[in-house]
Structure 1
Amino acid sequence: MTVIFEISAICLYLLAAAYQGAFLLNITRQPHKLSLIGLSALALLCHGFSLFSRPIDLGFLNISSLFFWFIALLALLSTLRRPTYNLLVILLPLAALAIIASMNSTTAHPLQSHLSKGMLSHILSSILAYSVLTIAMFQAIALSIQDHQLKQHHVKGIMRVLPPLQTMEAMLFELLWIGVVLLSVSIISGIVFLEDIFAQHLIHKTALSIAAWCIFSTLLWGHWQLGWRSQTAVRWTIGGFIALMLGYFGSKFVLEIILP
């Protein structure tokens, strides 16, 4: 039954992305917003059921699927407030690829049922933080390309249909604020509820997570006090994202994919 929902989610993700992508390529008229949201929401429901109808697996490929489910969910919710439908063209296929990868996973690291509420809050806040900050990274890249093309007075491709630069920038800093709050909860709950967060097998993850928090917090302070914007914000966002992803995915990739 789970496989049926996974395949359904893959097909619906790709269909929704193609529906919006056809408009961007000038193949069709602008899609009906409710139809696009409906397809995306149905894909998320199928994906979510495939994830939560069984014990959550914390293996590299399976947790990637969970991350992209959160990312796609947040991206869809953002369309209710801002015209960000075009981001779905990028994020929905990535969610589909994450499902395909998880279906071929050969490792198993199920979430233990006896974990305390504190540990569960740490895991959940970590996943949410990484998801929000991943969207912020994609937003930063789009902002960088849009800013460059506007300066060159030659806006082309997908950039033609993105929201105005000021809106894109405002969205980036909103995501960063949310991400930093969630990352703060993740780090604090880890310190409180993990027995030894600075143990040898956790020290690199802890250090890089704190480094990422410092980078993102410095950027927010710089934006508030010094007016940092545009390419400066992009560079700091990407730097913080790299530190954050290395902290989690770096070790899991080496241990589970390169050295199984």
Structure 2
Amino acid sequence: MYALPLALVAFIFYIAAASWQGLTLFRRVAPRDTLVRGLGAAGLLCHLPLAVGLLDAGDSLQPGFSTSVVLAGALAVLVLLLVSLFKPVLNVATGLFPLAGAVLLLAIEWPSPEKGSTMTPGIALHALSAALAFALLAIAAVQAVLLGVQNQALRHHHIRGVVQSLPPLTTMERVLFELLWGGMILLTLSIASGFAFVDNMFAQHLVHKTVLSLVAWVIFAALLTGHHRLGWRGMRAVRWTLGGYLVLLLAYFGSKFVLEILLARP
């Protein structure tokens, strides 16, 4: 009964936070990091009860599509708010917050089939590391988009507007690779714990997720190796980051969307 109004309030808070940060990027208002974090946190406080409610309703090893995207959105916002206390990543909110709010509004109206299963400690480790990896790499993907905008602007000698508001290029790249390293550690833990603790992968339709997650892992590993050994950076880093995240997005949500939303199958 209260899901849609609560989701709408969360969406409004997210849009308000993203709008202020966007205006800051375009130098229309003064930076107010505390205000942006506060509005984002208010949206998250409305978002989390919906995520927890969906998870409790399912009590499953494999949450359905709507539960998964609502949880992923909440966790991505939470991770961004925490990371922004230590790293200059709050500009990512301009893209991440509206996306989290829009997905919440859409997904809350899509009840998805759930499968009952016992959540063992091993499975809990797998699920938590996978969710954290997805959230951290989502922030890295938006950071890559901003880095790409900055690279293109500087290449064409456009040094006004957004470029003036972003941190220096070297700082943007350093933060991107720090996010990628953190995401890779968590993704490695997720894949390893999945092989160790998840049984009956074929019966649970997890083979495609495992294969695509491994492909994403290889892409990110190649990028980090290329950066360390060959000095890869700039637009190459942007393209590889977005490519790897697209594969990971397909791994986590692609088949769920097709089966549960398009084909209406559990």
Equivalent residue runs for 1:65-214 within 5 Å: 65-109=70-114, 112=116, 114-197=118-201, 201-214=205-218
8 A contact 1:125–1:182 mirrored in 2: yes
Bigger drift between 244-253 and 12-21 goes to 12-21
Structure 2 residue 236 is the aligned partner of structure 1 residue 235: no
Contact 1:191 1:197 in 2 (8 A): no
Q: Partner residue of 2:11?
A: 10
Distance change >3 Å, CA 234–CA 24, structure 1 → 2: closer
Which string of whole-angstrom CA distances, capped at 9 and with x for unpartnered residues, describes residues 93-136 of structure 1?
111101101221132326x4622111121111111111111211
Identify if the C-alpha distance between structure 1 residues 231 and 188 changes in structure 2 by more than 3 Å, giving closer, same or farther.
Answer: same
In the alignment, what sits opposite 1:38?
38
Residue 156 of structure 1: CA displacement?
4.8
Contact 1:3 1:50 in 2 (8 A): no
Tell me, yes or no, if the aligned pair for 2:95 and 2:142 is still in contact at 8 Å: no
3-state SS of 2:206 partner: helix
Cα distance between partner residues in 1 of 2:111 and 2:3? 16
Count of residue pairs the alignment pairs up = 258
TM-score for both structures, normalised by structure 2 = 0.88
- d(CA) in 1 for partners of 2:154, 2:135: 29
SS of residue paired to 2:88: coil
Give the letter aligned to residue 239 of structure 1. Answer: G
- 1:37/1:76 contact within 8 Å kept: yes
Unpaired runs of 5+ residues, structure 1, are none
Residue equivalent to 1:21 = 22
1:190–1:197 contact (8 Å) kept in structure 2: no
The one-character-per-residue Cα deviations of 1:37-68 (angstroms, maximum 9, x if unpaired) are: 22212221221122224535522233112112
Q: Is 1:59 matched with 2:64?
A: yes
For the 8 Å contact 1:44–1:73, the answer to whether it is kept is yes
5+ residue gaps in structure 2? none
Deviations 1:195-229 (A, max 9, x none): 13466832222111111111111211111122111
Residue 219 of structure 2 aligns to which amino acid in structure 1?
Answer: I
CA–CA distance in structure 2, aligned partners of residues 48 and 245 of structure 1: 21
Report what 2:255 is aligned to. Answer: 251
Question: Greater CA deviation, 153-162 or 39-48?
Answer: 153-162
What secondary structure does 1:153 align onto? Answer: coil
Does the 8 A contact of 2:65 with 2:253 survive in 1?
Answer: yes
Q: TM-score, normalised by structure 1?
A: 0.89
How well do the aligned residues superpose, as a CA RMSD in angstroms? 2.2
Counterparts of 1:239 and 1:54 in 2: how far apart (Å)? 30
Contact 1:20 1:30 in 2 (8 A): no
**Percent identity of paired positions between Structure 1 and Structure 2:** 42
Alpha-carbon separation, structure 2, partners of 1:166 and 1:173: 11
Residue pair 1:5, 1:47 contacting (<8 A) in 2 also? yes
